[in-house]
Structure 1
Amino acid sequence: MAHQEIIIAGFGGQGILSAGRLLAYAGMLENKNVSWLPSYGPEMRGGTANCNVIISDDTIGSPILNSATVLVAMNGPSLDKFEGIVEEGGIIITDSSLVPRRPSKEGVDVYEIPATQMATDMGNHTYACIILLGKLVEKTGIISKENFEQALKKVLPQKKHYMIPEEMKAFEMGMKY
């Protein structure tokens, strides 16, 4: 049975909510039950943003998470806020370019990836979230790389489709890191 309860969190403007939509859409393409619940402060860009994504073979009871199997933290405050609700045996993935400390939670797998630096080196800092999603998918197997690419084609506006090959390169970098 595949079931992942994922929190993606960081600053507004980092692509947090879009990343969650991409995961949820890819989950739908795999005929799984999905839930995507965005949450952001009134200041949006620069403020905090997070979303809960549930991808499951089973019926989803509630979109609100009291615990998570995976946390993707793109800044220090997000790690501070959500680290404690990651279940034992879960996964914490951080953007080590922006998260100043290693997660201290026991009993979880931790992956620290300098995603913002890697994305900046690629020429587009917005790929940082995609790099981290690559690691999430590689570690959980919750969706396929092919369906992630299909989700990009569906979720991104047509005028941004030229970016998909680079986004897939970023995704694969995250998988391999």
Structure 2
Amino acid sequence: MIKEEIIIAGFGGQGILSAGRVLANAGLIEKRNVSWLPSYGPEMRGGTANCSVVISDEPVASPILNSASSLIVMNGPSLTKFENSVLEGGVIIIDSSLVDVEVKRKDVKVYKIPASKMADEMGNVTYANIILLGKLIAHTGVISTESFEESLKKVLPARKHHMIPEEMEALKMGINF
């Protein structure tokens, strides 16, 4: 049975909300129950942004998460804010290119991935969130790569569909890291 409660957090402009939307849509493609709840500060780009995504075989009682099984963070303040929200035995996936805060907990699995550096080397730093989602998929099995690709086709505007092959390459980089 699948039930993954995920928080994705960072600065506005890093694709935090988009990453959650693609992930939630992939869950729908797999005929699962999902919720996606975006949240962002009034500053938008450069301000804080986070979203919660629930993907489950069971009905989702509430889109508001008091705790999460998985956390993806792309800035230090988000790690500080959400670290204690992760359930014991959960996972924290960090963009180590941007986060220099250490995880204090010993009861969670931590992956430090230099996602922004890897994405920059690919030629597009906006792929960092996709690299981190790849590690989430590899660790949890919450969705398939095929559903992720199908979700990109549905969520991205047609003018950005030419980016999908590179985004799938970024996803595979995260899966294999």
* C-alpha distance in structure 2 between counterparts of 1:115 and 1:105, whole Å: 22
Partner in structure 2 of residue 130 of structure 1: 130
Partner in structure 2 of residue 71 of structure 1: 71
- The CA deviation at 1:68 is 0.3
Identity %: 67
- The CA deviation at 1:65 is 0.3
* C-alpha distance in structure 2 between counterparts of 1:6 and 1:61, whole Å: 15
Partner in structure 1 of residue 17 of structure 2: 17
Q: What is the letter of the counterpart of residue 161 of structure 1?
A: H
Q: What is the letter of the counterpart of residue 148 of structure 1?
A: F
Secondary structure in 1 matching 2:88:
strand
Q: What is the letter of the counterpart of residue 99 of structure 1?
A: V
Q: What is the letter of the counterpart of residue 121 of structure 1?
A: E
- The CA deviation at 1:73 is 0.4
* C-alpha distance in structure 2 between counterparts of 1:150 and 1:130, whole Å: 14
Secondary structure in 1 matching 2:7:
strand
Q: Is the aligned partner of 1:112 residue 2:112?
A: yes
- Summarize deviations over 1:66-107 as a string: whole Å, max 9, x none: 000000000000000000010001000000000002311121
* C-alpha distance in structure 2 between counterparts of 1:155 and 1:104, whole Å: 36
* C-alpha distance in structure 1 between counterparts of 2:68 and 2:136, whole Å: 13
Q: Is the aligned partner of 1:29 residue 2:29?
A: yes
Partner in structure 1 of residue 52 of structure 2: 52
Partner in structure 2 of residue 140 of structure 1: 140
Secondary structure in 2 matching 1:159:
helix
Partner in structure 2 of residue 103 of structure 1: 103
- The CA deviation at 1:136 is 0.2
* C-alpha distance in structure 2 between counterparts of 1:103 and 1:8, whole Å: 16
Q: Normalising by structure 2, what TM-score?
A: 0.99
Q: What is the letter of the counterpart of residue 29 of structure 2?
A: L
Unaligned runs of 5+ residues in structure 2 are none
Unaligned runs of 5+ residues in structure 1 are none
Secondary structure in 2 matching 1:94:
strand
**When the two structures are aligned, how many residues end up with a matched partner?**
177
Secondary structure in 2 matching 1:120:
helix
Secondary structure in 2 matching 1:64:
coil
* C-alpha distance in structure 1 between counterparts of 2:117 and 2:80, whole Å: 21
Partner in structure 1 of residue 83 of structure 2: 83
* C-alpha distance in structure 1 between counterparts of 2:170 and 2:124, whole Å: 10
- Summarize deviations over 1:28-70 as a string: whole Å, max 9, x none: 0000000000000011000000000000000111000000000
Q: Is the aligned partner of 1:7 residue 2:3?
A: no
